[in-house]
């Protein structure tokens, strides 16, 4: 007999990935969407306390997508989100903040035609 979970998470391709360094800047990327259509968020989790904004760039398979955007401080992090757009599947999506070398990347995934309850 199968159990029904009322608070089940929607079956989507939402993923995140962070740089894996124990010191210095920690940068993360989050993809929210399904298949080749995602919103992208760049997050610098531990910027210097006085930093309020910083330019951030988005790359798709190594090529810059559009111009640099401005990430803004929200509590202890700097972040910027790009609204959902079609990247395609199996595309390497990366974010890079200006002035630091850390780059966070993730790959779009095809998950099929699943319900999103």
**pLDDT tens across 46-104, in order?**
999 999 999 999 999 999 999 999 999 999 999 999 999 999 999 999 999 999 999 99
DSSP per position, 62-106: TEE-SS-EEEEEETTEEEEEEEEEE--SS-EEEEEETT---EEEE
- Contact predicate 60/93, CB 8 Å: yes
- Contact predicate 45/27, CB 8 Å: yes
Would you list the domain boundaries of the chain?
A: 15-107
What pLDDT score does 114 carry?
63
**pLDDT tens across 3-44, in order?**
333 333 333 456 778 887 778 899 999 999 988 899 999 999
What pLDDT score does 116 carry?
57
15-107, what's its fold?
Answer: Immunoglobulin-like (2.60.40)
């Amino acid at each position: 007999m199968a159990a029904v979970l009322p608070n089940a998470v929607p079956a989507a391709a939402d993923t995140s990935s962070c740089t894996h360094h124990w010191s210095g800047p920690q940068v993360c990327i989050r993809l929210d969407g399904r298949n080749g259509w995602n919103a992208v968020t760049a997050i610098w989790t531990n910027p210097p306390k006085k930093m309020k904004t910083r330019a951030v760039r988005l790359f798709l398979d190594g090529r810059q997508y559009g111009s640099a955007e401005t990430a803004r401080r929200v509590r202890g992090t700097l972040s910027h989100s790009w609204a959902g757009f079609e990247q395609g599947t199996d595309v390497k999506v990366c974010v890079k903040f200006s002035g630091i070398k850390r780059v966070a990347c993730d790959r779009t995934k095809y998950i099929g035609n699943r319900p999103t309850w």
